[in-house]
Structure 1
Amino acid sequence: MKKKGLTIVILLLLCVAIACIPLLTIKDSEFGGADGQAEEAITAIDPDYKPWASSILEPPGGETESLLFALQAAIGSGVICFGLGYLTARHKYRSAGQTE
């Protein structure tokens, strides 16, 4: 059990390093989204292109868009963590029931 815990800690630290190292080493860079890059590429290919679809709900500012994205990420991680907790508890209680 000790070895498994150590492996988990090492993997978590590796995940944090993979996420943080590019942010710390790349200076003066702009981390834009894929939407902006796609718009630039389409405009470069065909300057007269007119989009055939538009957003149903346009957020009032960048902060609102950021908030909605963070909320979406929080809900998604909550669902995933709930599922993992449920599966872990189910396995634990099944194992406990077999030993009795």
Structure 2
Amino acid sequence: MSKSNKKTIIVLLLIVVVIAMVPLFTLKGAEFGGSDDAGSQAISEITGTDYQPWFTPVLETWIGGKLPAEIESLMFSLQTGLGAGVLFFFLGRYVERNKWQKKMCDKEAESPDSLN
């Protein structure tokens, strides 16, 4: 690895750290809620009545109560990981297929008579 690559990587890592740390210091006392809660509150403000969801989540039905926040985070992380895995699996297959096709086309261009 050249010196310029090392410097670029170090600068990029510092930028990532700054981007991650700035909100921690600038947003003191901020509350971060879920979109479900914000949606329910907005509907209640607009209609003036208590919003009742149409259905309850499947896991909450199975366990008979509300899921702990840690379990919700775990499920979200698993969903994200599985989605990324599927996406990048197919992207990798696509890239490899293109490489294979290019390789086959190059072989045909080199010796078209060898295929017959």
TM-score if structure 1 supplies the norm length? 0.69
Distance 1:23 1:45, change over 3 A: farther
**Match of residue 44 from structure 2:** 43
Shift of 1:52: 5.0
Identity %: 30
- More divergent stretch after superposition (42-51 vs 30-39): 42-51
Matched residue type, 2:19:
I
> Contact (CA 8 Å) 2:44, 2:50: kept in 1 or not?
yes
Looking at structure 2, the residues matched to 49 and 31 of structure 1 have their Cα atoms a distance apart, in angstroms, of 22
Do residues 70 (structure 1) and 48 (structure 2) align?
Answer: no
CA RMSD after TM alignment: 2.8
TM-score if structure 2 supplies the norm length? 0.60
Could you list the runs of 5+ residues in structure 2 that have no partner in the other structure? Answer: 61-65, 108-116
Matched residue type, 2:54:
A
Shift of 1:98: 1.0
- More divergent stretch after superposition (50-59 vs 26-35): 50-59
> Which of 91, 95, 101 matches 1:94?
101
Q: How does 1:26-41 map to 2 (within 5 A)?
A: 26-28=26-28, 29-41=30-42
Stretches (4+) displaced over 6 A: none
Q: Deviations over 1:41-90 (max 9, x none)?
A: 12222343341512132253011111111111001000110010000000
Aligned residues: 87
Looking at structure 2, the residues matched to 65 and 27 of structure 1 have their Cα atoms a distance apart, in angstroms, of 24
Distance 1:23 1:53, change over 3 A: farther
Matched residue type, 1:74:
G
Matched residue type, 1:27:
L
